[in-house]
Amino acid sequence: MDASFSRDFDLPDAAATARLGAALAPLLAVGDLILLRGDLGAGKTALARALIGAHLAAHGLSEDVPSPTFTLVQTYESPALLIAHVDLYRIENADELRELGLAEMLDEGAAIVEWPERAAAELARLASARLDIALALVPEGGRRARLTASGSWAARLEGLTI
């Protein structure tokens, strides 16, 4: 991916992770793909929950945002956007990704994908506006998030603060 933007954010606690999700929520648009990478416990689901919750709240909506580990896909709809929260941890091959209908989801809305390395080549072809977020636990405590943007995400992230 040609990165036009790359920036690290220190996330010392759960509140900082929630602030990052809330800061990203109003930037989400139809066709966007957000890829969340990191080990188990790195905060992928927490960040996705915060982003989805903030987007829904901005439209006066509130929903429980469970992990899609077992369902593979959870969808959320606001007047502005359909958001698919996808967890690829349990898929075993790229054919399963096609069966999920991710390309069609991006035609109608945006997708937040956990464990994208399970289908990296297929995901790379799906969206030109992509935001990769790598989350890592840090020895001092908390997490660090590295945001790497392509397409229109690069301009949208300029000046992002949490």
Low-confidence ranges of the chain (pLDDT < 70): 1-4
Q: d(Cα 40, Cα 27) in Å, to the nearest integer?
A: 26
Locate the domains of the chain by residue range: 7-156
Q: Residue 96's pLDDT is what?
A: 76
CB 38 within 8 A of CB 136: yes
Q: Residue 92: how many CB atoms within 10 A of its CB?
A: 8
Q: Residue 143: how many CB atoms within 10 A of its CB?
A: 23
CB 119 within 8 A of CB 94: yes
Q: Residue 49's pLDDT is what?
A: 95
**What pTM was computed for the model?**
0.90
Q: Residue 100's pLDDT is what?
A: 79
Q: d(Cα 133, Cα 153) in Å, to the nearest integer?
A: 12
Paired with 87 in beta bridges are 114
Q: Residue 41's pLDDT is what?
A: 84
Q: Residue 81's pLDDT is what?
A: 93
Q: d(Cα 154, Cα 133) in Å, to the nearest integer?
A: 13
Q: Which CATH topology does 7-156 take?
A: Rossmann fold (3.40.50)
Q: Residue 126's pLDDT is what?
A: 77
CB 94 within 8 A of CB 30: no
